[in-house]
Amino acid sequence: MSKRVLLLLGPNLNMVGQREKNIYGSETAETINGDVRRWADELGLDIEIFQSNCEGELISKIHSALGGKDGIIINAGAYTHYSYAIRDAIACVPKIPTIEVHMSNIHAREEFRHKSVIAASCVGQICGFGKFSYKLALQALKDIFESEE
């Protein structure tokens, strides 16, 4: 049975390809999600992709991962920097390894983006590699799963 991964995408990530092309590029969220699905398939992972602009929906999805998912990749968007509620939701599911991901290098952007309040609840953080940040996170989860066997 393949491992089940939940990719959570936070606010405004549905607008990738239209917003701030100098930061996020011109590829659309749909084409990036297609690449993520292909990469997951190549790694033998079963992936569900969920995007929401609503904090509560993201929290409910994290809670629902308990018993149903083996790993979580989260790009919480701006919630990364101030949502203690999302941080606490990740902490509620400690047996599910969670990786924080950002397409841009948050540490090279505006000062308020340098701090992640969710990082401490995650096993790691990957940022700055564009859509390939997701590919790196998928590989990292696969490596974690294999090390547990």
* Catalytic site includes residue 102: yes
Using CA atoms, how far residue 56 sits from 29, 38, 49, 59, in Å, is 21, 29, 16, 5
Alpha carbons 5 and 98: distance in angstroms, whole number: 10
Phi-psi map region of 101: left, alpha, beta (phi>0 left; psi -120 to 50 alpha): beta
Alpha carbons 128 and 7: distance in angstroms, whole number: 17
What strands, in cross-sheet order, belong to the sheet with 45-51?
45-51, 3-9, 71-75, 98-102, 124-127
Given 82, 84, 102, 114, the catalytic residue: 102
Alpha carbons 128 and 3: distance in angstroms, whole number: 26
Catalytic residues, by residue number, are 24, 102
